[in-house]
């Protein structure tokens, strides 16, 4: 169990600086989507109500808060692996709760505006942003936050202090 915790807690931070591009993309999308859930009921409470989530108002607010805080953490490169696994799980639940019924044509959400509106191709088309977010977070989970991150600064400060202590 300690190995798993250490793997999450001590991500590699020596990756390419360009990793920041993926972090900024994923972090900004989650951050702004979290804000939208508070600003527009159709994106937050209304959506969770239509999907049949228990306690839709509480659920929407918890998810929105998690997206805002997690999005900021990704933007700054803090706790990148923990946040990435949280978002991967969240996006998998989102896909399963919204796209399965789209396949069968029984979705409580509005159908896509243009064909395909049901079936495999509708699911593929409508889940493109979910897929992109899952892949971005999977990349960050594996590669870590990169050099331009708070995780890197924390890691570097630990090394500096350990050299001074010897």
Start-end of H helices in the chain: 2-9, 19-39, 45-50, 56-76, 80-104, 120-126, 128-143, 150-165
Domain locations in the chain? 17-165
**What is residue 166's predicted lDDT score, i.e. its pLDDT?**
46
CB 28: neighbour CB atoms within 10 A?
Answer: 14
State residue 160's pLDDT score. Answer: 57
The pLDDT averaged over each successive group of 10 residues in the chain (166 residues) is 84 86 96 96 92 94 98 96 96 91 87 84 89 95 92 80 47
Determine the pLDDT at residue 134.
95
Per-residue model confidence (pLDDT) at position 165: 47
For residues 101 and 107, the answer to whether their CB atoms sit within 8 Å is yes
* Long-range contacts from 113-119, C-beta under 8 angstroms, 24+ separation: none
Enter the pTM of the model: 0.86
pLDDT of residue 126: 87
């Amino acid at each position: 169990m300690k190995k798993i915790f250490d793997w999450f807690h001590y991500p590699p931070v020596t990756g390419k600086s360009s990793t920041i591009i993926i972090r900024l993309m994923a972090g900004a999308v989650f951050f702004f989507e979290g804000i939208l859930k508070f600003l527009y009921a159709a994106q937050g409470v209304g959506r969770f109500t239509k999907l049949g989530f228990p306690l839709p108002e509480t659920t929407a607010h918890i998810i929105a808060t998690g997206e805002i805080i997690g999005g900021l953490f990704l933007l700054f490169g803090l706790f990148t692996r923990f946040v990435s696994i949280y978002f991967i799980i969240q996006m998998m639940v989102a896909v399963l709760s919204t796209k399965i019924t789209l396949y069968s044509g029984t979705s409580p959400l509005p159908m896509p505006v243009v064909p395909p509106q049901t079936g495999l191709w509708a699911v593929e088309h409508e889940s493109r942003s979910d897929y992109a977010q899952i892949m971005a977070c999977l990349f960050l989970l594996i590669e870590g936050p990169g050099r331009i991150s708070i995780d890197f600064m924390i890691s570097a400060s630990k090394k500096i202090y350990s050299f001074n202590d010897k």
